[in-house]
Amino acid sequence: MLNFDWLSGVSAETAKMIFFGLYIFIGALVLMLPNDYIYEGIKKEDRHWWNNLKVWSIAVLSILATVYYQF
């Protein structure tokens, strides 16, 4: 039980899909955040796509998913 032996039947490929699912889930949650909240602290006229933290987060998650796809 404590060793998670009840999950020993799960293959490495399925486990990898669980990790991918986690990244997609986190990405979806980030995308759901309102833009006003993401930009909080920046004046309205200074808000651009390149300081949108959603874009940064999705980029980081995409690189992470690529690493897990490669290995």
Partner 1 sequence: MLAGIDYFIVIAYIVGMLLLGLYFKKFVSSSEDYFLGGRSLPFWAIGMSIVVSDIGALDFVGVSGQAYRYGISVGNFDWVGSVPAMLLAAFIFIPYFWRGGMYTIPEYLGRRYNKSVRTIASATWILFFALDLGVLFWASAVLLNVLMGWPIWISIMSTAGVVGLYTYFGGITAVIMTDVVQMVIMFIGGFALVFLSLDAVGGWENMVEKIGTMGPEYRSHFDIIQPVNTKSPFPWTGILFGLTFVMSNAYMIGNQSIVQRCLTAKNEWHAKASMVFGSALKMFIPILVLFPGLMAVVVHPDLLDGDQALPMMIKTILPPGLVGLMFAAFFAGLMSSVDSLLNSTATLFTKDIYEPFIKKDADDKHYLKVGQITTLVLLVLGVATAPISSDFPGIYVAIQTFMSYFQGPIFSILLLGIFWKRTTQWGGLSALVIGIGFAVFLNVFKADFFTIEDPFLYISWWSFVLGFIINVTVSLLTKKHSDDELEGLVFSSKIITKSKS
Residue 31 touching partner 1 (CB under 8 A)? no
* 3-26 core/surface letters (b: 16 or more CB in 10 A; e: else): eeeeeeeeeeeeeeeeeeeebeee
The H or E element containing residue 62 is: helix 53-70
| Window 1-20: contact mask with partner 1 (x via CB under 8 A) | -xxxx-xx-x-x--xx-xx-
Which residues of the shown chain bind partner 1 in the complex (CB under 8 A)?
A: 2-5, 7-8, 10, 12, 15-16, 18-19, 22-23, 26, 30, 33-34, 36-42, 51, 53, 56-57, 59-61, 63-64, 67-68, 71
